[in-house]
């Protein structure tokens, strides 16, 4: 009798065991964690880390898959040998698989596994990559390079670093593994003589924002070891670098609202009178501005290339005349009395008279909802154009220096003339409905190195 009961119990246990679904895993209590970000879902997190949704749910004992919230830590199962917090890092200029793995002290195979990289050449600046960080604090590091004809021991002495610690930090077995062009990770207590990953002659360099986005103003900042003549290109446009009071250099460049999404080329080179030279290039990610669409009906003459091209060429000739002096200071102001009402936003794809969406709105349209029709200079500058145009109506263009211009179109009255020096907030005209319009409004544009950019950026941020 007892044998029968034992056999029945054993059979019941075996039946129950084989009925457990294969895709259900035992909840784990340890492993790398990921902090939920706004917009994340369990599906998107599982897809990002290449784990199954069921494994993710079971590893975190989640009863309601729709209940996760930003800031919540989640254990990511199946990542063997990986610990710490999985953070997202936007790759800056010059970073490579080699420098990232040294910087975060992780194996290249681990880094490749986390980010599912098939080729090191995929590490484009602006890409978001997953990095495991211990103690939730990303490391602060410096890199440098061997100077010409410099020995490894001489380099260690110049950096005030222990030569053996240098080898250990850089995952090298001997100094013979080093090459003159290799980036050497400096220990945290070494000297302050590190350089950027772009060139030994550049102490620091950044591009903001990364990734690039259609319609934004890209700001390139760099500091060199000694004064240099700099040149370069970004997204097909030649860059202009201007020295700052602290000895650094800055270049501002507009990214066209209809630039192809994908990769954009960045190049920079420099030289000085003593024969020091460098050059560097890297592909940057360029994302969508996520612009909307609108269809308008206008006078056919105002979209006729016979009328639009001469006017476009005239404007282009004005806003590509670069002066060296920065005339504006601080944040720009709105060009009319508050409150403001925006009737059409920058970047909106436009179709005219039933045509294709091959145009875009190059500025902001402010409607008439303020107590007055006054138009004010958004920033200090010099009037470089003032007069009537077929498409843009009564127009004023201000040069703010260093390739930055603002434009004010469709005015009923212009109150300044070419050559006038105006200050931020000065009255320069009145809102009207001249030129190609569907009603009274102010069309306000900002140009940066020959490209129309998002005006709201300049009204909400400070450049440089």
Give the domain ranges of the chain. 24-80, 85-136, 142-186, 202-287, 293-460
pLDDT at 401: 98
pLDDT above 90: residue 162: no
pLDDT at 293: 94
**How far apart, in whole angstroms, are the C-alpha atoms of residue 316 and residue 322?**
12
Percentage, residues of the chain above pLDDT 90: 57
pLDDT at 19: 41
pLDDT above 70: residue 189: no
pLDDT at 5: 47
Per residue in 66-85, pLDDT tens?
889 999 999 999 888 888 88
pLDDT above 80: residue 150: no
**How far apart, in whole angstroms, are the C-alpha atoms of residue 65 and residue 43?**
9
pLDDT at 13: 43
pLDDT above 60: residue 9: no
100-109, 175-184, 198-207: the lowest-pLDDT one: 175-184
pLDDT at 197: 81
Three-state helix/strand/coil letters over the chain: CHHHHHHHHHHHHHHHHHCCCCCCCCCCCCCCEEECCCCCCHHHHHHHHCCCHHHHHHHCCCCCCCCCCCCCEEECCCCCCCCCEEEEEECCCCCCHHHHHHHCCCCHHHHHHHHCCCCHHHCCECCEEEEEEHHHCCCCCEEECCCCCCCHHHHHHHCCCCHHHHHHHCCCCCHHHCCCCCCEEECCCCCCCCECCCCCCEEEEEEECCCEECCCEEEEEEEECCCCEEEEEECCEECCCEECCCCCEEEEEECCCCCCCEEEEEEEEEECCCCCEEEEEEEEEEECCCCCEEEECCCHHHHCHHHHHHHHHHHHHHHCCCCCCCCCCCCCCCCECCCCCEEECCCCEEEECCCCCCEECCCEEECCCCCCCEEECCCCEEEEEEEEECCCEEEEEEEEECCEEEEEEEEEEECCCCCCEECCCCEEEEEECCCCCCCCEEEEEEEECCEEECHHHHHHCCCC
pLDDT above 90: residue 20: no
**How far apart, in whole angstroms, are the C-alpha atoms of residue 326 and residue 243?**
11
Averaged pLDDT, 219-248:
95
pLDDT at 357: 93
**How far apart, in whole angstroms, are the C-alpha atoms of residue 101 and residue 374?**
57
pLDDT at 45: 92
Averaged pLDDT, 48-56:
91
**How far apart, in whole angstroms, are the C-alpha atoms of residue 440 and residue 432?**
5
Domain 142-186 = CATH 3.10.350? yes
Per residue in 354-406, pLDDT tens?
999 999 999 999 999 888 999 999 999 999 999 999 899 999 999 999 999 99
293-460 topology per CATH = Glucose Permease (Domain IIA) (2.70.70)
Comparing 202 with 326, the larger pLDDT belongs to: 326
pLDDT above 60: residue 141: yes
- Considering the four listed CATH numbers 3.90.1150.10, 3.30.160.270, 2.60.40.10, 1.10.730.10, the one that applies to the domain covering 202-287 is 2.60.40.10
The position carrying tokens 């207590």 is: 189
pLDDT above 50: residue 243: yes
Comparing 161 with 371, the larger pLDDT belongs to: 371
pTM tops 0.75: yes
2-16, 302-316, 439-453: the lowest-pLDDT one: 2-16
pLDDT at 179: 63
pLDDT above 80: residue 60: yes
Let me know if the fold of 85-136 is the same as that of 293-460. no
- Considering the four listed CATH numbers 3.90.79.10, 3.40.50.720, 3.10.350.10, 3.90.1660.10, the one that applies to the domain covering 24-80 is 3.10.350.10
Superfamily of domain 85-136: LysM domain (3.10.350.10)
Averaged pLDDT, 115-142:
78
Comparing 219 with 71, the larger pLDDT belongs to: 219
pLDDT at 188: 60
């Amino acid at each position: 009798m007892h044998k029968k009961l034992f056999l029945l119990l054993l059979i019941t246990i075996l039946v129950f065991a084989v009925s457990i679904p294969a895709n259900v895993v035992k909840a784990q209590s340890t492993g790398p964690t990921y902090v939920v970000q706004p917009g994340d879902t369990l599906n998107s997190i599982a897809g990002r880390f290449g784990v199954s949704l069921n494994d993710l749910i079971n590893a975190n004992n989640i009863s309601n898959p729709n209940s996760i919230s930003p800031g919540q830590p989640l254990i990511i199962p199946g990542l063997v040998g990986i610990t710490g917090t999985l953070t997202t890092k936007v790759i800056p200029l010059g970073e490579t698989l080699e420098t990232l793995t040294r910087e975060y002290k992780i194996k290249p195979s681990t880094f490749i596994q986390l980010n599912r990289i098939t080729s090191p050449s995929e590490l484009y600046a602006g890409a978001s990559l997953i990095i495991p960080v211990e103690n939730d604090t990303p490391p602060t590091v410096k890199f440098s390079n061997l100077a010409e004809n410099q020995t490894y021991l001489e380099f260690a002495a110049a950096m005030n670093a222990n030569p053996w610690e240098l080898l250990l930090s850089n995952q090298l077995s001997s100094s013979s593994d080093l090459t003159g062009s290799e980036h050497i990770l400096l220990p945290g207590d070494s000297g302050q003589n590190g350089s950027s990953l772009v060139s030994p002659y550049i102490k620091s360099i950044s591009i903001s924002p990364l990734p690039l986005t259609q319609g934004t103003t890209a700001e390139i900042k760099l500091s060199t070891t000694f004064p240099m003549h700099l040149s370069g290109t970004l997204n097909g446009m030649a860059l202009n670098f201007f020295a700052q009071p602290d000895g650094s250099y800055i270049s501002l460049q507009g990214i066209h609202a209809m630039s192809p999404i994908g990769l954009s080329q960045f190049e920079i080179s420099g030289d000085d009178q003593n024969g020091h030279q460098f050059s560097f290039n890297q592909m940057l990610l360029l994302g969508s501005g996520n612009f909307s669409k609108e269809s308008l009906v206008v006078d056919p003459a105002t979209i006729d290339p016979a009328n639009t091209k001469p006017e476009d060429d005239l404007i282009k000739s004005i806003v590509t005349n670069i002066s060296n002096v920065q005339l504006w200071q601080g944040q720009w102001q709105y060009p009319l009395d508050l409150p403001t009402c925006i009737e059409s936003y920058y970047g909106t794809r436009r179709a005219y008279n039933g045509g294709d969406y091959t145009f875009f709105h190059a500025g902001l349209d402010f409607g008439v909802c303020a107590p007055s029709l006054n138009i004010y200079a958004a920033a200090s500058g010099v009037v470089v154009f003032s007069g009537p145009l077929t498409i843009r109506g009564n127009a004023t263009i201000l040069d703010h220096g260093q390739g930055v211009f603002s434009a004010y179109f469709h005015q009923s009255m212009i109150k300044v003339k070419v050559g006038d020096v105006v200050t931020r907030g000065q009255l320069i005209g009145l809102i009207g409905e001249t030129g190609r319009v569907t009603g009274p409004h102010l069309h306000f544009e900002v140009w940066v190195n020959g490209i129309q950019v998002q005006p709201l950026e300049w009204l909400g941020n400070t450049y440089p």
